[in-house]
Structure 1
Amino acid sequence: MSLYEKREEGDVDHYQNQEAAEAGCVSVKSDKSMENALNYSNETVDFNPRDDQTGVLQQDSVQKADDGLRRAKDQHKISMTNTYESLFERNRIYTQLCIIHGESEGVNEEHEVLHREKTPRLQDTQINCNNIFKDLPGPGLEKKGKIKAVLTKGMAGIGKTVSAQKFILDWAEGKANQDVDFMVVLPFRELNLIRDHQYSLHRLLLDFHPELQDLNSKIFEECKVVFIFDGLDESRITLKFSDSEKVSDVTEVSSVGMLISNLLKGNLLPSALIWITSRPAAANQIPSKYINRVTEIRGFDDPQKEEYFRKRISDEHQASRIISHITRVRSLHIMCHIPVFCWISSTVLQKFLKEDLSAEIPQTLTEMYIHFLLTQINMGNQKYKERDPEKLLQSNREVIVKLAEVAFKQLMKGNVMFYEEDLIESGLDVTDASVYSGICTEIFKEESVIHQRKVYSFIHLSFQEFLAALYVSYSHVMKNMEPLQLFLDDKHERDRPKRNRYRSKNISLFQLLKLAVDKTHQIQNGHLDLFLRFLLGISLDSNQELLKDLLPQTENNSKIIKGFMRYIQETIKRNDNLSANRSINLFLCLLEMNDQTLYQEIQEFVKSDKHSDMYLSFAHCSVIAYVIQTSEEVLDVFDPMEYKTTEEGRWSLIPAVINCRKALLARLRLSIQQCDSLSLALRSSNSCLKQLDLSNNNLQDSSVKLLSTGLKSSHCHLNILRLVFCNLTGQCCESLSSALQSSNSQLRELDLSSNDLQDSGVKLLSVGFESPNCQLNILRYLRTQINNDSNKTKRHLSSARYFLCACNAWSSVSLDFLYFGLILILVQWSMMVMPVFLALSTNA
């Protein structure tokens, strides 16, 4: 048994931990010696002075080992404190991030930002980062065995690394997790540099944490160790989980990838705890059977956004103005769930308010990023003595264009972290890279890591996407299209001889933007969606004016831009082959270009009664659903059958139910996929749905189980649910019964008519009826198959306290039972009314 398993579970006070160490609880040898000391017997024992002397020497040896371990732990904590306390804003500004148990459902086939805009916030079980390995309280979250490996997902810049740093720092400062002896931090961005080397796990630990070099390799098997692998999405290491190579000794040499795999499989240091962070797209590199808990960082919710701005901006009036502006502009408000975007926004908007600029405050992402870039350039200029405007302008242009080229070329490869070889390949000298990171400190980061190697990155993936778009625009203005061939050529063009591809340098702006749209549509995971929004935003004359010192002057493009806006509108209105995600991104591109035309048209169309007058493409339906879903006004009644479109088009409208009071979804031939979307809507914190009619759909029991999950959510406000003729059996009644028993249940009326429930199903429902949490007033079961001779069935149904059990001539339930049900209703009614009647009579 390892040492930490002998300790009490949970956090302990730092001083208590020290007392435990002083008591000799940190050495296997000391444990064994104590066990021997307590092993008394009735046998006669001969006294030998040499034995006593040996015992004293052993005790001295144990004490020295304990002292050495304690010193190593203290040095390790000091080292970690020095490393991490300066890497994020101090506690005055730090805002607790929203880490939730579980993850967003479904495969993410869209850009992270768009996914965030569309994904409703669910009922979350939030976790403090310090409790990431601990059991969670609450029903359904019972302990399922030891939590060894935790995978935390989150989009770029959402705060995964900051959460890990906070976890480490709180431990190092004695605030939490004092039962942990060592924390080993192994970022993938650094592991990439040694991916081709052979290492033992012990050697790897010492390379990353030299302060542990005096410890014996075996001590890590006896102590509680947490490994933190940060940034799986940045990994260029192959992880293999086959049984071909097993590494079980910390001194055994193997590849870095094999060491990580064996740690996760439990072959190396079986008692070690492991925390891995990753962007969602890369998380599937590790088989789920090696992960005990999955969490997701959603970033700031609305109150946390406000908390961050008020902590960072000392001027209360200024903070309120910035919060007000961010809240009004939806695209900015959405992005502010990313902590780094909050920092960018506060930097830009504070400058505007401080200087009282007459220019309009940024309304789009492109405008915000342009102003941030210009702000950072001005700050860089102040570091140098050069005051000649022309020389400064030329210098700035060279720096930004070079960085933009790196951003573009690495974005096309999917890289967010760069090494010296990547920069050289992108045409940037390594020496220049250090200079550029000094000039643009807050844009381009240079980090010294293991073996004095350098790692480079931009402040955030979205800023890399912005600079990449800037590079495309710059290359077009300079009529230098050669660097863009990889981006612009489709797979058919690449098969042609190079001399035949885009020989003309005079490709029009309209052609460039159209090719960019076509290119992004070819990428199913939405990798370039935000890049496209920035490219279209930069093309506006107003933004070209802001960038006039970086981009050469161009002629007025307003007519071309208006023509391209019309092209996007027509693409959305007429394209049945465009996916929902691509359609919505095109719509967001229009908003990024300050074109509100389609948005206003859709709002008027939804409010009108002329839904069947115009044919709607699949893409158009997807955008309509998005507009309804994100509108501040709640729709009273939503019926997709009123819309003139295809069956797939009506299905694409279903996410809109989240912002409707009454949804009529009968006869839509819904599948389990659509029911999953409905369950998600019911669980959303901003769900407005009160009535839901799903009649005449072949839902079957599996779909009802999904819906029941939504019914149990504290965010669900559904009062009426109709499931008439949905091919249901008694198997679905267990999940419905569970929903009725939930303390969150608000269901008042349930219609299960024309379904084959059978006696077994009714029996299950009756359990829900008897629950004190059940709010049901009306249960309908017309033409429901129930055994006429079953007295048990009658008793089950009659146990309902406030139910109207509606039957008709085709029902197999006897008429006398209907009378019994009506009498029951009358009795209940009289019990409620009689006291009032008697009170009135008494007063009279």
Structure 2
Amino acid sequence: LRRLELLTAEEAAQVQAASSLPEQVRAVVDVLASKGSQASQSLQSFIETSNSQLYLHITVQHLGQKHLESLQSSYGNSLEPGALQRLSNLLLVEGLTDIQQKEHDILQVETTKGLPNVSKSIPLEKLFLPLSKVSIPPRISVTVGVAGIGKSTLVKLFVCTWAKGDINRDIMFVLPLTFRELNTYEKLSAERLICLASPHITEPGCISAGAARTLLILDGLDEFKTPLDFSNAVVCTDPKKEIQVDNLITNIIRGNLLQEASVWVTSRPAAARQIPGGLVDRMTEIGGFGAAEMKDFLDQMFLDNRDLSSQVLKHIRANRSLHVLCTIPGFCWISGSSIAYFLKHCSDQSQEAAVVPRTLSEIYSYYFKMALSGDWLEKPRETLRIEQAVNTSKKLVGSLGRLAFYGLLRKKHVFYEQDMKAYGIDLSLLHSSLSTRLLLKEDMQTSTAYFFPHLTIQEFLAALYYYTAAKRTIFDLFMESGVSWPKLGFLNHFRSAIQRALQAEDRQLDIFVRFLSGLLSPQVNKLLCGWLLVKDEHSGFRSQAISILQGCLNTDCAISSRAVNAMRCLQEIQHTDIAQAVEEAMKSESLAGMLTPTNCSALAYLLQVSDVCLEETNLSNCLTYNVCKSLLSQLLFCHSLRLDNNQFKDDVMELLGSVLSVKDCQIQRLR
């Protein structure tokens, strides 16, 4: 500027005396503004043709202000107050555990009893700061959490808090994107990705050049339609070049693009394993509800009826298995709604019919009955005639069920208009109150996305579809093309579903088969007959379905989570004899001699759900070496374990030592 004679020596010295770059910029602008329009035009010409820090800083300051205003407008009022406290602290973890990588989300919570095996936490405001004075801020951060735990709510909380200026003021740009939206694009460049996150940003080159600290948020990796392949991704370093979206994401995470930006990915645990651990600088996990948070959540649900909130909480706490799952906010909302609906109507039912929902299938049957009847707690019953409601509901649930089932097989949880049309779903019916409880929609820049309120709702719908279709189809339902060997009869289809679930490496069919089993229970048939099921139709299949499930327990191998899930299927179908016999033996300390493979599976199940094991798991004087060996993987999650007076071989200590060293192990006391 001195060479262009736009500043005198005295004015240049005055500018240089300013302590920081922003103050120097302000001083330059003020001096030149006082010299008239010609000086201002000369400055504008200079910064437009220059690649200097001044140009970048002025441009970034202008864009940053517009960006902040845009986020404040978008995220200002989108948070529920109850979410704030729990999400203000995240669990700091060293990586994914074996159970997180291999098991279904619900099984993860059931097995660990909703208690992550970590003690360190990190406040939200420090999530992108160094952990110590000698470390650097993380470039790649990954936050994991099971379905319904609040990952997207956490992102909203962070963006909202940052936009208010309360945290991370060193970050100039926060760019939030969802994989749900990225699914609608085949190719993008890094600069176009920036504009997609913030359409008002007219100079994405400033951000890709690293002129200001930027945080790119990629929410919901588990919803991305294309697996990330870090081994074969083509390297790209040009921020203007359009490439396949999955390649773009891998190049950004690897640091080939947007090298100076921090990246925050949220995901369900199993999907997060796509990102190599060596590329992740910081991994955090969202914890579930504590006791006080669960109570506050239910109080918020039933704001005008605290007595109802207390009754719902009492029923949840009385069922240990249900209580553990209700640490997940999404599941707690479904369970709370269902139990409240039951309490509201139990006075209208006979004493025999008024059974508190205890199994997963019963909870979801009440939820669906509530949705089908339009009888929601927060509004009066719809006036639509019951016959019309039944017919409309059956048609919609049938179409959604088919979408849910084949989506589940493809690990697809987000759908678009082309999917709706392909599965014959009448989009005009999606505006009914029924669909808003079973399917949500989100309007995006280029399309509309549809998704189920919780993964388990998709799984229940899928089970309903399979149950209904299995009674009439002769081809394998798992082959959507219909080209397969004939499978005649419901029980052949039921056996096929159980075998598929047992063989699935990712365990993603476990809850589906639990619901499928539950649809054969007398209680669920009572609840849904006339709506989605035919009265007493289950009775012709139930005993043989029980035999199929019991066949999954007769194994001499180690008791796995597959056997435990088969036991849970038996509970859903209301066949509780095996578990009750083993539980009675545990209470009377008479397990010795009765631990057959089937009873070992029941014992493994009881370790997770029985109140007998709540304070201490007492397995003294009943285990042989082989039984202990078969149960090892299930003993991991006992907090206090008693194994005295057992006739073990000497090398059992080596076995127990291997268990105690496992990352998943939660044993705190052993005697």
TM-score where L is the length of structure 2: 0.82
Does 2:158 align with 1:167?
yes
- Tell me the distance in 1 between the aligned counterparts of 2:146 and 2:314: 26
| Residue of structure 1 in register with 2:512 after alignment | 531
Does 2:390 align with 1:393?
yes
Deviates more, 1:655-664 or 1:266-275: 655-664
Listed one character per residue, the Cα deviations across residues 776-825 of structure 1 (whole Å, up to 9, x for unaligned) are xxxxxxxxxxxxxxxxxxxxxxxxxxxxxxxxxxxxxxxxxxxxxxxxxx
Query: Contact 2:219/2:265 (CA < 8 Å) preserved in 1?
Result: yes
- Tell me the distance in 2 between the aligned counterparts of 1:284 and 1:412: 19
**One-letter code of the match for 2:506?**
N
Secondary structure, aligned partner of 1:186: strand
Does 2:598 align with 1:604?
no
**One-letter code of the match for 1:613?**
G
| Residue of structure 1 in register with 2:438 after alignment | 443
Query: Contact 1:154/1:297 (CA < 8 Å) preserved in 2?
Result: yes
Q: 1:664 to 1:263 in 2, by over 3 A?
A: farther
Instruction: Using the TM superposition, give the Cα deviation of residue 160 of structure 1 relative to its aligned residue in structure 2, in angstroms.
Output: 1.4
- Tell me the distance in 1 between the aligned counterparts of 2:62 and 2:451: 36
Instruction: Using the TM superposition, give the Cα deviation of residue 308 of structure 1 relative to its aligned residue in structure 2, in angstroms.
Output: 1.6
| Residue of structure 1 in register with 2:126 after alignment | 131
| Residue of structure 2 in register with 1:350 after alignment | 340
| Residue of structure 1 in register with 2:107 after alignment | 114
- Tell me the distance in 2 between the aligned counterparts of 1:630 and 1:400: 32
| Residue of structure 2 in register with 1:739 after alignment | none
- Tell me the distance in 1 between the aligned counterparts of 2:432 and 2:299: 30
Instruction: Using the TM superposition, give the Cα deviation of residue 245 of structure 1 relative to its aligned residue in structure 2, in angstroms.
Output: 4.9
- Tell me the distance in 1 between the aligned counterparts of 2:171 and 2:61: 13
Does 2:254 align with 1:265?
yes
The equivalent position to 1:576 in structure 2, one of 556, 576, 583, is: 556
**One-letter code of the match for 1:658?**
H
Does 2:172 align with 1:181?
yes
Query: Contact 1:117/1:334 (CA < 8 Å) preserved in 2?
Result: yes
- Tell me the distance in 1 between the aligned counterparts of 2:198 and 2:572: 47
Q: 1:625 to 1:473 in 2, by over 3 A?
A: closer
Does 2:424 align with 1:428?
yes
Instruction: Using the TM superposition, give the Cα deviation of residue 583 of structure 1 relative to its aligned residue in structure 2, in angstroms.
Output: 0.7
Q: Pick the structure with greater CA Rg.
A: 1
Query: Contact 2:342/2:366 (CA < 8 Å) preserved in 1?
Result: no
Does 2:331 align with 1:331?
no
Identity level (%): 25
Instruction: Using the TM superposition, give the Cα deviation of residue 343 of structure 1 relative to its aligned residue in structure 2, in angstroms.
Output: 1.6
Query: Contact 1:129/1:166 (CA < 8 Å) preserved in 2?
Result: no
Q: 1:204 to 1:512 in 2, by over 3 A?
A: closer
Secondary structure, aligned partner of 1:99: strand
Query: Contact 2:636/2:659 (CA < 8 Å) preserved in 1?
Result: yes
Does 2:486 align with 1:501?
yes
- Tell me the distance in 1 between the aligned counterparts of 2:307 and 2:383: 37
Q: 1:284 to 1:653 in 2, by over 3 A?
A: closer
**One-letter code of the match for 2:459?**
E
- Tell me the distance in 2 between the aligned counterparts of 1:324 and 1:143: 49
| Residue of structure 2 in register with 1:149 after alignment | 140
Instruction: Using the TM superposition, give the Cα deviation of residue 422 of structure 1 relative to its aligned residue in structure 2, in angstroms.
Output: 3.0
Instruction: Using the TM superposition, give the Cα deviation of residue 580 of structure 1 relative to its aligned residue in structure 2, in angstroms.
Output: 0.9
Q: 1:567 to 1:180 in 2, by over 3 A?
A: same
| Residue of structure 2 in register with 1:456 after alignment | 450
The unaligned stretches of length 5 or more in structure 2 are: 1-17, 48-53
Query: Contact 2:361/2:518 (CA < 8 Å) preserved in 1?
Result: yes
Query: Contact 1:246/1:262 (CA < 8 Å) preserved in 2?
Result: yes
- Tell me the distance in 2 between the aligned counterparts of 1:204 and 1:670: 56
Q: 1:83 to 1:539 in 2, by over 3 A?
A: farther
Secondary structure, aligned partner of 1:100: strand
Instruction: Using the TM superposition, give the Cα deviation of residue 239 of structure 1 relative to its aligned residue in structure 2, in angstroms.
Output: 4.0
**One-letter code of the match for 1:600?**
Q
Secondary structure, aligned partner of 2:175: strand
Listed one character per residue, the Cα deviations across residues 43-80 of structure 1 (whole Å, up to 9, x for unaligned) are xxxxxxx9xx9799649988998776445333323322
Question: Superposed, which structure 2 residues align to 1:728-739 within 5 Å?
Answer: none
- Tell me the distance in 1 between the aligned counterparts of 2:308 and 2:533: 36
- Tell me the distance in 2 between the aligned counterparts of 1:376 and 1:252: 48
| Residue of structure 1 in register with 2:479 after alignment | 486
Q: 1:292 to 1:643 in 2, by over 3 A?
A: same
Q: 1:220 to 1:600 in 2, by over 3 A?
A: same
Q: 1:664 to 1:72 in 2, by over 3 A?
A: farther
- Tell me the distance in 2 between the aligned counterparts of 1:629 and 1:552: 31
**One-letter code of the match for 1:376?**
A
Deviates more, 1:243-252 or 1:182-191: 243-252
Does 2:590 align with 1:590?
no
Question: Superposed, which structure 2 residues align to 1:169-568 within 5 Å?
Answer: 169-195=160-186, 197=187, 199-213=188-202, 217=206, 221-237=210-226, 239=228, 241=230, 245-314=234-303, 315-355=305-345, 357=347, 358=349, 359-379=354-374, 387-425=384-422, 427-429=423-425, 432-433=426-427, 435-439=429-433, 440-451=435-446, 453-477=447-471, 479-482=472-475, 484-486=477-479, 498=484, 500-502=485-487, 504=488, 507-508=489-490, 510-551=491-532, 553-558=534-539, 560-562=541-543, 564-565=545-546, 568=549
Q: 1:678 to 1:447 in 2, by over 3 A?
A: same
The equivalent position to 1:74 in structure 2, one of 65, 90, 101, is: 65
Listed one character per residue, the Cα deviations across residues 703-743 of structure 1 (whole Å, up to 9, x for unaligned) are xxxxxxxxxxxxxxxxxxxxxxxxxxxxxxxxxxxxxxxxx
TM-score where L is the length of structure 1: 0.66
Q: 1:203 to 1:110 in 2, by over 3 A?
A: closer
Q: 1:376 to 1:241 in 2, by over 3 A?
A: same
- Tell me the distance in 1 between the aligned counterparts of 2:169 and 2:288: 27
For these two proteins, the number of residue pairs brought into alignment is: 626
| Residue of structure 2 in register with 1:701 after alignment | none
- Tell me the distance in 2 between the aligned counterparts of 1:297 and 1:286: 18
| Residue of structure 1 in register with 2:651 after alignment | 669
Instruction: Using the TM superposition, give the Cα deviation of residue 101 of structure 1 relative to its aligned residue in structure 2, in angstroms.
Output: 0.8
Does 2:660 align with 1:678?
yes
Instruction: Using the TM superposition, give the Cα deviation of residue 589 of structure 1 relative to its aligned residue in structure 2, in angstroms.
Output: 1.4
**One-letter code of the match for 1:187?**
T
Secondary structure, aligned partner of 1:309: helix
Secondary structure, aligned partner of 2:415: coil
- Tell me the distance in 2 between the aligned counterparts of 1:219 and 1:191: 19
Query: Contact 2:141/2:283 (CA < 8 Å) preserved in 1?
Result: yes
Q: 1:350 to 1:671 in 2, by over 3 A?
A: same
- Tell me the distance in 2 between the aligned counterparts of 1:417 and 1:311: 28
Secondary structure, aligned partner of 1:276: strand
Q: 1:387 to 1:445 in 2, by over 3 A?
A: closer
Instruction: Using the TM superposition, give the Cα deviation of residue 174 of structure 1 relative to its aligned residue in structure 2, in angstroms.
Output: 2.4
Secondary structure, aligned partner of 1:124: coil
Instruction: Using the TM superposition, give the Cα deviation of residue 296 of structure 1 relative to its aligned residue in structure 2, in angstroms.
Output: 1.8
- Tell me the distance in 2 between the aligned counterparts of 1:637 and 1:378: 47
Q: 1:645 to 1:404 in 2, by over 3 A?
A: same
RMSD: 3.9
Query: Contact 1:437/1:445 (CA < 8 Å) preserved in 2?
Result: no
Listed one character per residue, the Cα deviations across residues 83-127 of structure 1 (whole Å, up to 9, x for unaligned) are 334544x21565524631114522533222112111252242123
Deviates more, 1:644-653 or 1:168-177: 644-653
- Tell me the distance in 1 between the aligned counterparts of 2:165 and 2:619: 55
Query: Contact 1:643/1:650 (CA < 8 Å) preserved in 2?
Result: no
- Tell me the distance in 2 between the aligned counterparts of 1:325 and 1:406: 33
Instruction: Using the TM superposition, give the Cα deviation of residue 236 of structure 1 relative to its aligned residue in structure 2, in angstroms.
Output: 2.6
Query: Contact 2:560/2:633 (CA < 8 Å) preserved in 1?
Result: yes
| Residue of structure 2 in register with 1:84 after alignment | 75
Instruction: Using the TM superposition, give the Cα deviation of residue 519 of structure 1 relative to its aligned residue in structure 2, in angstroms.
Output: 2.3
Q: 1:218 to 1:525 in 2, by over 3 A?
A: closer
Listed one character per residue, the Cα deviations across residues 296-338 of structure 1 (whole Å, up to 9, x for unaligned) are 2232233322232233332333222111111111232122122
- Tell me the distance in 1 between the aligned counterparts of 2:637 and 2:596: 16
- Tell me the distance in 1 between the aligned counterparts of 2:140 and 2:311: 44
Instruction: Using the TM superposition, give the Cα deviation of residue 175 of structure 1 relative to its aligned residue in structure 2, in angstroms.
Output: 2.4
Instruction: Using the TM superposition, give the Cα deviation of residue 162 of structure 1 relative to its aligned residue in structure 2, in angstroms.
Output: 1.3
The unaligned stretches of length 5 or more in structure 1 are: 1-21, 38-49, 692-844
